[in-house]
Structure 1
Amino acid sequence: MRETTQVLVAGGGPAGTTAATVLARQGFEVTLLEKEGFPRYHIGESLLPSLLPVLDVLGSREAVERHGFTRKTGAFYDWGGQEWQLRFDTPDRPANHSYQVIRSQFDHILLENARRQGVRVRERTSVRRVAFTEGRATAASWTSPDRGDGETAFQCLVDASGRAGILAARQLRTRRFHDVFRNVATWGYWRGAGPLQGAPEGAIGVFSLPGHGWLWAIPLHDSTLSVGLVTDKRSFNRARYEHGSVDAVYGKALGQCPLLSGILDGAELITPLKTESDYSYVSETFCGPGYYLAGDSACFLDPLLSTGVHLAMYSGLLSAAAICSVLRGEVPETHAQRFYQTAYRHAYERLLILVSAFYNIHDGRDTYFRRAQALSHRDQQGLRLHESFLNIITGIEDLADVQDDAVHALFTRLRQPVDDRHPHGLGGHGTSHMLPLPTSPQQAAAGLYLTLTPRVGLRRTT
């Protein structure tokens, strides 16, 4: 079977459904191919308030609100011997919140919304390979148990295939893993856990461990608690060798956290443990002739600051805006892709340094610079990562001057909105300004910025 579409989206997760829905709402013909049947399981359950404006753009916020997910009003950190509450509501944003979601349900809501908005959705359809004609992506071959094998020709492709990475991981082989974030996560679901005293309503709990690693606790609306362990790969393998099993490593880690052990007293682990490793990576480029990489297909950081779904939907919206302007003839593709590469890369790198700073918050400013250089080492083609690393890192070096209360200082910065005059500064975790959408000339990337009204697209700075 051979067919054509204006835009083909590979993947039905948050990145794919965001891009597809925005494009369909702008009147373009969009086909979305998803290898699994929804609803399907996925990790990444704690969302940030920065996603609420994106849900508004998709027309799906009401459905998410109505579903009954746990309302997340902040976060609780027991980190490095200090306890800290981060409340999303502030005097200027009293109703700011987000959600703790069961991803199978949340992702299904977004996929069904895309279908209602006019996206041609095909589940259980796996993209096998993308064909290039004279260096440009032009068609994708796919297979489905319901429809057999086929090929779809397109004007533009959004690769939102997640960790599988149809282009970056399988074909172009442009993905590289972060040596400093070779982590392992293992997690399960508990029933009967008690509340986390002193935490904001519906808050995620984050607890650092002595030596290596940390734990998360996420309350879900089905009365279960998602509890996960994150540690570096070397420590995890050594602990598994010493204790004999992943379950023993997990149990040992819980025993090292009195606060979390307390709320699990009397609770029951009702699922087998799941484990993932080597999940921090980035592609050398986020787009190319005829294609864009969105969400986990392009990069993934670390679960520490709950940035996965944020980056997915952020990139889905930016890629859709770029494609809209190109297909309408408003912006040349090379300019639109330069905008996308710059804006998405900056968002990713900024969060990369945030996560790195958090892991090393007590180590002093020299550590920040060493870590930044390690993260920005030369890749296989001898190209340095974005030079904004140095600009970003200077925004947190003064944390070393307040070591007695470094967590407090970091969170004080994270709560502040980004200053447009200093776009590389930290700020806004917990508000929709955490990573502001580039919707003003002051936030322009490569001479272009995002516009959402009267229609989604890119606009040139004067």
Structure 2
Amino acid sequence: MDIVETTDIAIIGAGPAGAAAAAWLARDGWSVQVLERQHFPRFSIGESLLPQCMVYLEQCGLLESAQAGEFQAKNGAAFCHRTRYAAIDFRDKFSPGPGTTWQVERADFDQRLIEGARRAGAQVHFGVSVTGFHPHPQRPRLQLEDEQGRRHELDARFVLDASGYGRVLARLEKLDRPSSLAPRTALFTHVEDHIEAAEHDREKILIGIHPQDATTWYWLIPFRSGQASVGVVTAPDRADAAGDSDDQRLWNLLRQEPRFSRLLNHAQPRREVQRIGGYSADIERLHGPGFAILGNAGEFLDPVFSSGVTIALDSALRAAPLVKQQLEGQAIDWDTSFERPLRQGIATFRAFVDAWYDERLQRIIFHDRQPERIRQMIASVLAGYAWDQDNPFVSASKRRLDSLAEHCYLDQGN
């Protein structure tokens, strides 16, 4: 097997993490090759961004590329459960930074980002799979195969894995470890929503809670031009019991939530219902000799707070400067400079995900007498500012959530 070429940085995956890292490093003058198994544009979920993403897109030089998509504006999140409704406005938050973002069809969004990285100087190869990896502190090597079955090898000075759910290096290096989160199933599709209800706010993701099962929840993500992403997340057995096909299961479950049933009464599907399960994942470590692992290729929590793209971009913009420094001869402690701080933010999101499924956070969100300062701190985390250590709900997430949930419980006379 001949080595056909070399590069400074090889990046596995052309999604948001791969595009951001590629753009940053290519703009800095490094040779970058992005290796993507699929062809773009391609469908993906994770369509409701968080405002923190806007900071990262600007840092890597891809904000203008994304702005050209003229995506649906997003300024917050709304929640409904039976007759209750609560909205959180990300513009009214504790942490500095943008308070608005977009809701995007990922096929278009991801295509714009990777083309922006290509314009910055990165080479992008679609239809190429990574079949093997040899880690090395100075010269890691990837084994590649194209769609015609041709195999070759690529030497790099550093490898970044941004392969998302493909989890290429986690698999090849046997770094996977079981997630502590319960297994769940997501059913989802795109629709022409035909929503005419005056109370429906298209600038917010709507998250609904099943009337009888608070661990089953729904999303409605409006796009521009009257389209939307709709889905449900539930236990695998509840999903299976809801119908004879995934299409039937999704729509039967959607009809069980009153507001979603009313809003989507005239919706027309644009694509087949899709299903993913067992998506939560964890990893032993996020770096090794000559490589680092970004975004969902490392740890993925849950889609409930749309944290996936935020974590992906944070990891890319955290790793790229360290790669530059290492290739310039500096000694980098990847554990201290990359893995620990990245996992701190992930831990904040995890605390909120845990609090959602055990209903502490639901109790907080629907409490109607929330102090303004507390509401702003919660809004900041849900807007993606999960690394702001000045926010007590970041620096002491679990303790603060426990205390606030108990206060809300007692305040409601329980």
Indicate the TM-score class for this superposition, using the shorter chain for normalisation: 0.7 to 0.9
1:103 aligns to 2:55 (yes or no):
no
Distance 1:408 1:16, change over 3 A: farther
> SS in structure 1 opposite 2:385?
coil
How does 1:234-383 map onto structure 2 within 5 Å? 234-237=237-240, 239-240=241-242, 243-330=243-330, 332-333=331-332, 335-362=333-360
> SS in structure 1 opposite 2:381?
coil
Q: CA deviation at 1:35?
A: 1.1
> SS in structure 2 opposite 1:428?
helix
> SS in structure 1 opposite 2:185?
strand
How does 1:216-235 map onto structure 2 within 5 Å? 216-235=219-238
Question: What amino acid maps onto 1:320 in structure 2?
Answer: A
* Range with greater deviation from structure 2 (151-160 or 221-230): 221-230
* Range with greater deviation from structure 2 (117-126 or 189-198): 189-198
How does 1:57-456 map onto structure 2 within 5 Å? 57-79=59-81, 82-90=84-92, 96-133=99-136, 138-145=140-147, 148-168=150-170, 170-195=171-196, 197-209=198-210, 210-211=212-213, 212-237=215-240, 239-240=241-242, 243-330=243-330, 332-333=331-332, 335-362=333-360, 406=367, 409=370, 413=374, 415-416=376-377, 428-431=380-383, 433-436=385-388
> SS in structure 1 opposite 2:14?
coil
1:175 and 1:405 map into 2 onto residues whose CA distance is 37
Distance 1:233 1:45, change over 3 A: same
Provide TM-score, normalisation by structure 1. 0.77
* Range with greater deviation from structure 2 (407-416 or 340-349): 407-416
Q: CA deviation at 1:234?
A: 3.2
Q: CA deviation at 1:76?
A: 0.8
Matched pairs, number: 386
Q: CA deviation at 1:97?
A: 0.8
Distance 1:427 1:269, change over 3 A: closer
Q: CA deviation at 1:225?
A: 1.4
Question: What amino acid maps onto 1:184 in structure 2?
Answer: T
Distance 1:257 1:197, change over 3 A: farther
Distance 1:24 1:73, change over 3 A: same
What stretches of structure 1 of length at least 5 have no aligned partner? 363-398, 417-425, 444-462
1:356 and 1:283 map into 2 onto residues whose CA distance is 18
Q: CA deviation at 1:201?
A: 4.3
What corresponds to 2:408 in structure 1? none
Question: What amino acid maps onto 1:324 in structure 2?
Answer: K
> SS in structure 2 opposite 1:84?
strand
Distance 1:437 1:167, change over 3 A: farther
1:316 and 1:94 map into 2 onto residues whose CA distance is 19
**Contact 1:296-1:312 at 8 Å conserved across structures:** yes
2:305 and 2:57 map into 1 onto residues whose CA distance is 20
Question: What amino acid maps onto 2:376 in structure 1?
Answer: R
Distance 1:336 1:350, change over 3 A: same
Distance 1:204 1:174, change over 3 A: same
Q: CA deviation at 1:124?
A: 1.3
> SS in structure 2 opposite 1:429?
helix
> SS in structure 2 opposite 1:314?
helix
Q: CA deviation at 1:354?
A: 0.9
**Contact 1:52-1:432 at 8 Å conserved across structures:** no
Q: CA deviation at 1:80?
A: 7.1
Distance 1:220 1:6, change over 3 A: same
1:94 and 1:427 map into 2 onto residues whose CA distance is 12
Q: CA deviation at 1:233?
A: 2.0
Q: CA deviation at 1:270?
A: 3.0
> SS in structure 2 opposite 1:285?
coil
Give deviations 1:174-199, integer Å, cap 9, x for gaps. 21232533010001122143156445
* Range with greater deviation from structure 2 (154-163 or 135-144): 135-144
**Contact 1:49-1:430 at 8 Å conserved across structures:** no
1:414 and 1:172 map into 2 onto residues whose CA distance is 43
**Contact 1:286-1:294 at 8 Å conserved across structures:** yes
What stretches of structure 2 of length at least 5 have no aligned partner? 396-414
Question: What amino acid maps onto 2:195 in structure 1?
Answer: G
1:49 aligns to 2:51 (yes or no):
yes
Q: CA deviation at 1:139?
A: 0.4
What corresponds to 1:395 in structure 2? none
**Contact 1:89-1:97 at 8 Å conserved across structures:** yes
2:371 and 2:313 map into 1 onto residues whose CA distance is 25
What corresponds to 1:420 in structure 2? none
* Range with greater deviation from structure 2 (32-41 or 77-86): 77-86
Distance 1:196 1:302, change over 3 A: farther
Question: What amino acid maps onto 1:50 in structure 2?
Answer: Q
**Contact 1:11-1:34 at 8 Å conserved across structures:** yes
Question: What amino acid maps onto 1:191 in structure 2?
Answer: E
Q: Percent identity?
A: 27
**Contact 1:160-1:296 at 8 Å conserved across structures:** yes
Question: What amino acid maps onto 1:350 in structure 2?
Answer: T
What corresponds to 1:30 in structure 2? 32
2:369 and 2:385 map into 1 onto residues whose CA distance is 19
1:309 and 1:403 map into 2 onto residues whose CA distance is 25
**Contact 1:137-1:289 at 8 Å conserved across structures:** no
2:371 and 2:271 map into 1 onto residues whose CA distance is 35
Question: What amino acid maps onto 1:316 in structure 2?
Answer: A
> SS in structure 1 opposite 2:380?
coil
Distance 1:79 1:138, change over 3 A: same
Provide TM-score, normalisation by structure 2. 0.85
Q: CA deviation at 1:262?
A: 1.0
* Range with greater deviation from structure 2 (124-133 or 341-350): 124-133
What corresponds to 1:7 in structure 2? 9
Q: CA deviation at 1:205?
A: 0.5
Question: What amino acid maps onto 2:298 in structure 1?
Answer: A
